[in-house]
């Protein structure tokens, strides 16, 4: 089983570093995804021979030796029609690997997020699939699932995205939830998928065998009473290829702190999908204080509990009762540890746990809704979570990510489609439907109004003002896979309040102000 592939920095070494440090592209990720026009060794020989210096010379060299992946845009239609028309645009054929490219081979068709994100991403894909399901695109769902199973079989886990530079980490484990969207009943395929889920679980729990005096190894941490829970982590401790210059700068700002620790925590933050957020910042505001690997997150452990229960359920259906009992036991053990450490009895809320302080973090974020989404919260915990959500996280345009402003994209004022879906579904699950209805309608109003104004679906929204979101490492992106998927699924959700103008009928108009 192959578990590694060369990243763009590995392949292009001095050329890669020169281009990134010179800021040839405003977005560090842009160069990492270009397609080489020739074999890497030929390009490197040319680079050593020409020795381009300075931004302009490097840009000219890159233009000669690399090309952009193809892209396209659809016509502007009604919101519902627009989302449906975007699936063919965002769908890509099986991916063959060009020597020197950072792309990972994919044997089947897949859907990308859009904009700068031209590969298949892990947790994004679940929310995209919600919309594919609503629009009857079942073959694409099955095709993407086949790709994910293939990735697990080849690399031992689902990487962050289908690029070589993403292989050292994963993303929030939604594979079991994706499989629940499948229509297949083929026994052989079900066995193969169950094997993939077991392999994914083994990846997240591999650190249980190497925990040392620090109390952690890889993704696994030992809690004060000896129980095991999980954290986000990355196998490399170097700058991210796709954010190379940015990571170098962050490590410099971190002062005397070992640079390798900063890089590891940045990478772990990227694995979380919340890259970046005050959830991971020791001082709550500055990215150079990031300490993601110290945090035991409530969302990750909720998803791993779901993974364990899903494996148990599938083992039981396959007649493997020993396997079912084993994973039931693991799920119950995790649930007990979460009740002890990730539920604050004093504050009566779900919380992340900070290993460095030995207590719950003060962060109130949309992550508190994950235990409701997967169904591990008690009715009392769900009611208290709904109360806190209504008091702190409901914004004019949807669900707040956190309650603090840092300039990072996974903080206030931004709202994100995946978290909105987690919240709505979790609240519905515990009969908190009035709040779920309210959040869903606020989100639909934000998305439909912005679309009516601009003809665009975007990655994130400023849900305080109803404009495109901001912050983070790159400009807001159009597309956009998970926004399309969640919005399309919500358009079919039964809800009593349809007082907003029908979002499915919204078309672009000119009298608006879409930018901050």
Q: Work out the angle between the directed axes of helices 417-429 and 122-134 (0-180°, nearest 10).
A: 70
Token pair of 511, please?
């009298």
- DSSP 8-state symbol, 77: -
Clarify whether 200 is annotated catalytic.
no
- Residue 287 and residue 284: Cα distance in Å, rounded? 8
- Residue 282 and residue 292: Cα distance in Å, rounded? 9
Active-site residue, selected from the candidate residues 33, 275, 412, 437: 275
Clarify whether 459 is annotated catalytic.
yes
For 127, 191, 203, 256, the CA distances from 194, given in Å and listed in that order, are: 21, 5, 14, 46
Active-site residue, selected from the candidate residues 119, 200, 459, 462: 459
What is the number of residues in the chain?
A: 516
Pairing of strands 394-395, 461-462: unpaired
- Residue 150 and residue 34: Cα distance in Å, rounded? 24
Query: Where does residue 513 rank: exposed (0-12), middle (13-18), buried (19+ CB within 10 A)?
Result: exposed
* Residue-wise DSSP of 51-69: ---SHHHHHHHHHHHEEPP
Which position has the token pair 């036991």? Answer: 329
Burial 334-348 (b: 16+ CB within 10 A, else e): bbebbeebbbeeeee
* Nearby residues of 135 by Cβ (< 8 Å), 6 or more positions away: 83, 84, 87, 488
- DSSP 8-state symbol, 393: I
Residues taking part in catalysis: 275, 459
């Amino acid at each position: 089983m192959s578990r590694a592939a060369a990243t763009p920095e590995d392949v292009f070494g001095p050329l890669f570093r020169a281009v990134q440090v010179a800021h040839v592209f405003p977005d560090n990720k842009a160069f990492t995804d270009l397609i080489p026009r020739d074999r890497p060794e030929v390009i490197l020989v040319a680079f050593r021979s020409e020795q381009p210096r300075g931004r302009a010379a490097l840009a000219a060299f890159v233009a000669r030796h690399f090309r952009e992946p193809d892209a396209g845009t659809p016509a502007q239609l009604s919101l519902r029609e627009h989302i449906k028309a975007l699936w063919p645009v965002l769908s890509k054929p099986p991916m063959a690997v060009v020597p020197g490219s950072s792309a990972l081979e994919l044997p089947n068709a897949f859907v990308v997020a859009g904009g700068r994100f031209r590969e298949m991403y892990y947790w994004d894909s679940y929310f995209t699939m919600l919309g594919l399901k609503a629009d009857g695109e079942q073959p694409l769902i099955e095709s993407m699932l086949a790709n994910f199973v293939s990735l697990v079989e080849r690399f031992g886990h689902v990487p962050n995205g289908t690029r070589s530079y993403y292989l050292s980490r994963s993303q929030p484990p939604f594979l079991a939830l994706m499989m629940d969207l499948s229509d297949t009943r083929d026994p052989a395929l079900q066995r193969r998928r169950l094997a993939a889920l077991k392999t994914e679980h083994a990846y997240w729990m591999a650190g249980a065998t190497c925990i040392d005096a620090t109390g952690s190894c890889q993704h696994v941490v030992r809690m004060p009473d000896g129980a095991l829970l999980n954290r986000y982590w990355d196998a490399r401790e170097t700058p991210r290829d796709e954010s190379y210059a940015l990571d170098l700068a962050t490590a410099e700002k971190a002062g005397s702190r070992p640079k390798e620790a900063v890089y590891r925590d940045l990478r772990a933050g990227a694995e979380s999908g919340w890259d970046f957020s005050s959830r991971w910042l020791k001082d709550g505001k500055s990215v150079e204080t990031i300490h993601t690997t110290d945090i035991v997150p409530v969302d990750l452990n909720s998803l791993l509990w779901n993974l364990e229960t899903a494996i148990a359920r599938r083992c039981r259906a396959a007649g493997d009762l020993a396997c079912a009992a084993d994973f039931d036991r693991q799920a119950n053990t995790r649930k007990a540890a979460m009740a002890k450490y990730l539920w604050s009895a004093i504050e009566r809320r779900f919380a992340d746990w900070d290993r460095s302080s030995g207590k719950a973090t003060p962060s109130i974020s949309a992550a508190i809704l994950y235990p409701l989404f997967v169904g591990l919260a008690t009715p009392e915990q769900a009611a208290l979570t709904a109360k806190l959500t209504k008091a702190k996280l409901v914004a004019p345009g949807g669900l707040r990510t956190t309650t603090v402003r840092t300039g990072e994209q996974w903080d206030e004022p931004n709202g994100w489609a995946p978290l909105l879906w987690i919240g709505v579904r979790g609240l519905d699950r515990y009969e908190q439907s009035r709040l779920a209805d309210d959040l869903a309608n606020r989100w639909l109003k934000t998305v439909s109004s912005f679309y009516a104004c601009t003809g665009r679906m975007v990655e994130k929204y400023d849900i305080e003002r109803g404009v495109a979101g901001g912050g983070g490492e790159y400009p807001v992106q159009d597309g956009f896979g998970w926004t399309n998927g969640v919005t399309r699924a919500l358009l079919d959700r039964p809800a009593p309040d349809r007082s907003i103008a029908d979002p499915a009928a919204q078309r672009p108009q000119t009298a608006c102000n879409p930018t901050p």
